[in-house]
Amino acid sequence: MLAILNKEIQSFFATPIGYLVIGIFLVVSGLFLFVFTGEYNILDSGFATIKPFFNMAPWIFIFLIPAISMKSFSEEQKLGTMELLLTKPLSIAKLIFGKYLGALLLVILAIVPSVIYVICISELGRTPGNFDLGATLGSYLGLLFLSGCYTAIGIFSSSLTKNQIVAFIIAVFICFLSFFLFEGISGLSILEAPEYGIEYFGISYHYRSISRGVVDTRDLIYFLSFIALFLKLTHFRIKNLRNN
């Protein structure tokens, strides 16, 4: 599994694409937070808060993470190396987990430099260092779980096709639906009553919940179950490829 993890990381940074993806994430988020006017601009809000970054991150990650994970299995199928991987003394579960951790680690590497934004916000406040540390840490935890969910979707989508572009589009579509669909449905007049609880099935509800700085076991169970579901679906797909 460690060999697969190492291979994924090396292949990502072997070309400028890896650095480009991370750079795009930081540049785009920085422009929206400090340059472009709008609801995400921290300087226009008048408050020293990093919340706009965490409100914007799910939108960026809907495209960023599928771009990172789209080659995981698609490239192996296209190059014909998938059969070689499946004949090695490596279980399907370890193969999938190695691919998953490799992609997730790359996403985490993209998130880490965003700490610079927190430092900037800390210094911009009327009293330097006076910001909600609990909410910030909770938001980062929520962002990590969100990344885990999107990465699991990306790995699954990559196992469905040999074409990386198709895998990217499928992953973007599923990520979008997983985050916004149930919240949108719950907003319909016929289903907006709280007893329906439609929004509980969406990532958005649990992401916002954990971003408040309160770690609820229900949110943790949801995220872990969501990740496990798509990794299991990937396992079924890879097992089917091996049997065929």
Task: Indicate the domain borders of the chain.
Answer: 2-243
For 185-201, write each residue's pLDDT tens digit: 766 555 454 545 677 88
The pTM of this model reads 0.88
90 backbone φψ class: left, alpha, beta (φ>0; ψ -120 to 50): beta
| pLDDT tier at 148, thresholds 50, 70, 90 | very high
Q: Does pLDDT of 52 surpass 50?
A: yes
Rounded CA-CA distance 210/225 in Å is: 16
Report CA dihedral (173, 9, 210, 229) to the nearest 10 degrees.
Answer: 50
For 96-124, write each residue's pLDDT tens digit: 998 999 899 989 988 988 888 888 777 76
Mean pLDDT of 178-188: 74
Residue 224 pLDDT: 95
- Residue 162 has φ and ψ, to the nearest 5°, of -85, -15
Rounded CA-CA distance 157/186 in Å is: 26
Q: Does pLDDT of 204 surpass 80?
A: yes
3-state secondary structure of 133: helix
Whether the Cβ atoms of residue 131 and residue 93 lie closer than 8 Å to each other = no
The contacts of residue 112 (CB under 8 Å, 6+ apart) are none
Report CA dihedral (153, 155, 161, 162) to the nearest 10 degrees.
Answer: 150
Residue length, the chain? 244
Least confident piece of the model among 41-50, 85-94, 152-161, 166-175: 41-50
| pLDDT tier at 155, thresholds 50, 70, 90 | very high
Rounded CA-CA distance 221/225 in Å is: 6
Rounded CA-CA distance 211/57 in Å is: 12
